[in-house]
């Protein structure tokens, strides 16, 4: 089989699956709305269940729901018959997935779910199936054909199920007013979480790690301080500990390019950059990164509300924290 033939086969699969998803759009109807209302009113958890490939899709749907503000988890229907039914409570909503609507493992636990009087939402490919008829809400996820040329491997049907699960999850996200900050709290280890949760106070150097001198000291002493603290700059303070200016390794290079300087006789206050940009400890690290990129600088001092220097950080600190 040549490359062109393989490419055509791949495109054909995507076309079939794309059409399957397109066919779902008219099915976002009153049944879909009712399903969303059940899940929004849920006092417990959304329990997702499904067998085989539907189970794999169900695990992903449960994870998407949970990470977007709708507490959910997946229960294997086979295990449910052997003790895991104890995970279901009367406060829950059940979301059951079955393309045929006749999955025996789901039908086995159906009477027990009915005894709990939990709302049952089903995603099936057969609205006349036993599972669909037993549901409080059934959403039709049937497809004209599987992308598999044998019509056997679940392909279009699982794609359609997954897409409908995403439609439910994101509709609930919007209805709950779920924000990017909320999302970050459920993903604290991810890059988005770090960007939306990490404050400068969490990463800045403090105490003896802050490169700082007073304006009266010679340039040579300031350079030793800058070298020892390894942040690429030194802050110049007045006698109250408030910032008067900043001197960076870039400023040093530019200074020597312009003139001959006696580093022992020259005061740091005479060659510093007066003022300079600062940030407060309670801003997001991502905001500080934006300031640094806009101003084309690689480090910043951190000051409190009175203007006293309480910390310092550079681009390497942001890199280590995963903000960049």
Q: Do domains 3-178 and 200-320 have the same CATH topology?
A: no
- What is each CA distance from 317 to 201, 262, 288, 289, in whole angstroms? 12, 33, 11, 11
Cα 69 to its chain centre, rounded Å, is: 12
- What is each CA distance from 115 to 75, 90, 234, 272, in whole angstroms? 18, 9, 71, 77
Beta-bridged to residue 246, according to DSSP, are 235, 273
**Domain coordinates of the chain in residue numbers?**
3-178, 200-320
The closest alpha carbon to 130, from 163, 152, 108, belongs to 108
| pLDDT at site 318 | 87
| pLDDT at site 186 | 64
- Region 3-178: CATH code: 3.40.50.10490
Q: What is the mean pLDDT of each run of 10 residues along the chain (324 residues)?
A: 90 95 96 97 96 96 93 94 88 96 94 92 96 96 90 90 97 86 62 68 92 92 92 89 88 85 88 88 88 88 90 90 75
Class in CATH terms, 200-320: alpha beta
Pairing of strands 243-248, 273-274: antiparallel
| pLDDT at site 188 | 56
Beta-bridged to residue 235, according to DSSP, are 212, 246
């Amino acid at each position: 089989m040549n490359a062109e033939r393989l490419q055509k086969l791949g495109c054909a699969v995507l076309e079939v699956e794309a059409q399957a998803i397109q066919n779902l759009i008219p099915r976002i109807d009153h049944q879909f709305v009712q399903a969303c209302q059940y899940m929004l009113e849920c006092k417990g958890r959304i329990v997702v269940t499904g067998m085989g490939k539907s189970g794999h899709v169900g695990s992903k749907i449960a994870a998407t729901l949970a990470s977007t503000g709708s507490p959910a988890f997946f229960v294997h229907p086979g295990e449910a018959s052997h003790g895991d039914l104890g995970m279901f409570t009367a406060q829950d909503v059940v979301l059951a997935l079955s393309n045929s609507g006749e999955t025996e493992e789901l039908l086995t636990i159906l009477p027990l779910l009915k005894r709990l009087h939990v709302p049952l939402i089903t995603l099936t490919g057969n609205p006349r199936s036993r599972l669909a008829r037993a549901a409080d809400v059934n959403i039709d996820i049937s497809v004209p054909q599987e992308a598999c040329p044998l019509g056997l491997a679940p392909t279009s049907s699982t794609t359609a199920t997954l897409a409908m699960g995403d439609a439910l999850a994101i509709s609930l996200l919007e209805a709950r007013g779920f924000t990017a900050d909320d999302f970050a709290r459920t993903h604290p280890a991810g890059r988005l979480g770090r960007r939306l949760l990490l404050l400068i106070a969490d990463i800045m150097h403090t105490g003896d790690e802050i490169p700082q001198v007073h304006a009266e000291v010679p340039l040579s002493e300031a350079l030793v301080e800058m070298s020892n603290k390894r942040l690429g700059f030194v802050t110049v303070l007045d006698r109250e500990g408030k910032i008067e200016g900043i001197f960076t390794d870039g400023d040093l290079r530019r200074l020597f390019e312009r003139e001959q300087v006696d580093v022992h006789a020259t005061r740091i206050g005479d060659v510093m950059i007066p003022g300079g940009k600062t940030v407060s400890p309670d801003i997001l690290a991502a905001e500080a990164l934006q300031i640094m990129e806009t101003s084309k600088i690689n480090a910043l001092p951190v000051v409190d509300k009175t203007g006293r220097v309480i910390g310092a950080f550079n681009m390497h600190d942001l890199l280590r924290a995963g903000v960049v």
